[in-house]
């Protein structure tokens, strides 16, 4: 009888653990849905004129694409072309993304991802910024027109995410990048399941004063609010 009770208690314990393991992702998905539907800066409206920025979407990750120079602000002064192997002449656009260090640096292809990488991204790993000079934003999925003051706030929000050295320059990581026109830099804070690349991009837009999602850990929860790219 005692043995049966022990087995019963053990079975209940295993069921509780299994239920908890199922409940955590279910709660996360529910929170992601709510956070993607709830807006911040809800009174914002897109102006008829302004500077257009773009959101690139590879199905998992969002990048913000901006002009290299606009509204009196020039990214090339902060992130010089000399940081990159070969930026094509006349390149007028620059893309910014943020993510966990091992996901970016150790997985150039999705098939290279490891369980340890996923674990680091979920529980909290060092955050990096990925910057790429691009010839055109034509590959982007969405576009947002900004007022001059909104553009400047967006520029400032992205700049503030770079970890700076003693000379006030972004700390470039010694990594070849994915191609000749991209590079990695140290960022402030950590990346995690709560602070994904898409949450960071939404935060940049929030600080700019743009209507965006409260907490969109998945890319679709961020991009659905904005106009599709007009080719």
Convert the pLDDT of each residue in 68-116 to its tens digit.
Answer: 999 999 999 999 999 999 999 999 999 999 999 988 887 766 666 777 6
What is residue 122's predicted lDDT score, i.e. its pLDDT?
A: 72
Q: What is the mean pLDDT of the chain?
A: 90
Distances in Å between the alpha carbon of 208 and those of 14, 149, 212? 48, 8, 10
pLDDT digit string, tens, across residues 34-48: 999 999 999 999 999
Distances in Å between the alpha carbon of 161 and those of 97, 125, 129, 190? 11, 15, 8, 11
**pLDDT range class, residue 66, cuts 50, 70, 90:** very high
- The distance from CA 65 to its chain's CA centroid, rounded to whole angstroms, is 12
> How far is 59 from 198, CA to CA, in rounded Å?
11
What is residue 184's predicted lDDT score, i.e. its pLDDT?
A: 97
pLDDT digit string, tens, across residues 213-222: 999 999 999 9
**pLDDT range class, residue 2, cuts 50, 70, 90:** very low
pLDDT digit string, tens, across residues 90-102: 999 999 999 999 8
Q: Taking the CB of residue 133, how many other CB atoms lie within 10 A of it?
A: 24
């Amino acid at each position: 009888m005692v043995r049966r009770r022990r087995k019963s208690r053990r079975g209940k314990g295993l069921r509780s653990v299994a239920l908890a393991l199922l409940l955590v992702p279910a709660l996360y998905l529910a929170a992601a849905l709510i956070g993607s539907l709830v807006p911040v800066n809800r009174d914002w409206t897109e102006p008829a004129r302004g500077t257009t920025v773009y959101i690139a979407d590879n199905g998992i990750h969002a990048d913000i694409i901006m002009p290299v120079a606009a509204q009196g602000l020039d990214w090339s002064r902060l992130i010089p072309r000399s940081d990159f192997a070969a930026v094509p002449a006349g390149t007028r656009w620059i893309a910014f993304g943020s993510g966990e260090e091992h996901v970016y640096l150790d997985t150039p292809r999705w098939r290279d991802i490891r369980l340890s990488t996923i674990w680091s991204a979920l529980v909290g790993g060092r955050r990096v910024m990925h910057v790429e000079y691009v010839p055109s934003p034509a590959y982007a999925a969405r576009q947002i027109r900004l007022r001059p003051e909104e553009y400047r706030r967006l520029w400032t929000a992205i700049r503030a995410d770079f970890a700076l050295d003693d000379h006030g320059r972004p700390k470039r990581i010694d990594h070849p990048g994915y191609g000749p026109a991209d590079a990695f830099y140290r960022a402030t804070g950590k990346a995690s399941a709560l602070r994904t690349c898409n949450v960071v991009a939404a935060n940049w837009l929030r600080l700019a004063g743009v209507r965006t999602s409260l907490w969109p850990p998945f890319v679709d929860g961020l991009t659905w609010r904005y106009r599709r790219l007009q080719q």
